[in-house]
Structure formats: structure tokens, C-alpha cells
């Protein structure tokens, strides 16, 4: 059963890999044409939703694997707090994505939303990198 959970956990991690390239994608959105902006923001919005599903997979499988392993309490606390921060940032990003998409469709400037999205995506990317580091080097804490 542990191997199945590990496989599902890795699949969930692949869904979160989207957050690693997101700052680079959103950093160039304001330079694109309106049609390209709409397509890019729409795709990011959809992929963000799939990444949120990946986070649910991560929560369930990670909880199972933590219950079967020998981890320090400090490591578990740090990982859970980081996981919640990643989930929160991904959820918070939904509103600026929706508002940017509406602004693009109404042919309005989205520079304010683009700035928020770039900041959120950078924080998400750093959070995912940090949690992956802590998963690989779980004995560090």
C-alpha cells in the first residue's frame, strides 16, 4: 500500500511542477497581444485548478506516508505549514486570474493583476522548491 501512496504522491508532485514555471509564464503576460493574454491567463487558470487537485492528492498521500514513517515533529510542522502556505497562495491566485481574464475580455489594462500574479507565482514557486528540498532531505530538520 505504501508504494501505491508513494506513486500517487509523485503524481501529485508532478501537478505542482506547474508552479515552478509559473513566474516565467506570468512575467511575460503583459507584453503579449490581447488574444495571447486571454489564452495564457485562461490556461494558467485551468492549470491552477488542476494543481489544486494535485494538492489534495498530496495531502491525502502525504498524511498516510507520514503516519508510516519516522519523522521529527519539527519537520512535520514545517512541512505542514509550508503545504498550507502553498495551498493558500494557489487559492488566493484564483481571484486575480479571474479578474485579469475579465479585464482582458473588456480590453482593460491588467498591469495591477499581472503584478499580483507575478508576486504570488514567485512565492508559490519558492514554496514548492523549499518543500521539495525538505522532502528529499527530511533528516535536515
Note the pLDDT tens digit of each residue in 15-63.
Answer: 888 899 999 999 888 888 999 999 999 999 999 999 999 999 999 999 9
pTM: 0.89
- How deeply is 73 buried, as exposed, middle or buried, from its count of CB atoms within 10 A (0-12, 13-18, 19+)? exposed
For the chain, domain boundaries: 2-140
Calpha distance 51→66 (Å, rounded): 21
Reading the block at residue 74, the C-alpha cell is: 519539527
Amino acid at each position: 500500500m505504501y508504494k501505491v501512496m508513494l506513486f500517487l504522491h509523485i503524481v501529485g508532485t508532478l501537478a505542482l511542477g506547474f508552479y515552478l514555471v509559473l513566474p516565467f509564464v506570468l512575467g511575460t503576460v503583459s507584453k503579449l497581444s490581447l488574444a495571447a493574454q486571454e489564452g495564457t491567463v485562461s490556461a494558467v487558470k485551468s492549470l491552477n485548478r488542476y494543481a489544486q487537485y494535485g494538492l489534495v492528492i498530496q495531502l491525502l498521500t502525504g498524511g498516510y506516508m507520514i503516519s508510516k514513517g519516522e519523522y521529527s515533529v519539527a519537520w512535520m510542522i514545517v512541512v505542514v505549514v509550508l503545504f498550507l502556505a502553498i495551498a493558500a497562495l494557489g487559492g488566493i491566485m484564483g481571484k486575480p486570474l479571474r479578474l485579469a481574464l475579465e479585464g482582458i475580455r473588456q480590453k482593460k489594462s491588467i498591469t495591477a493583476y499581472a503584478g499580483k500574479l507575478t508576486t504570488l507565482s514567485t512565492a508559490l514557486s519558492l514554496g514548492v522548491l523549499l518543500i521539495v528540498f525538505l522532502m528529499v532531505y527530511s533528516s535536515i530538520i
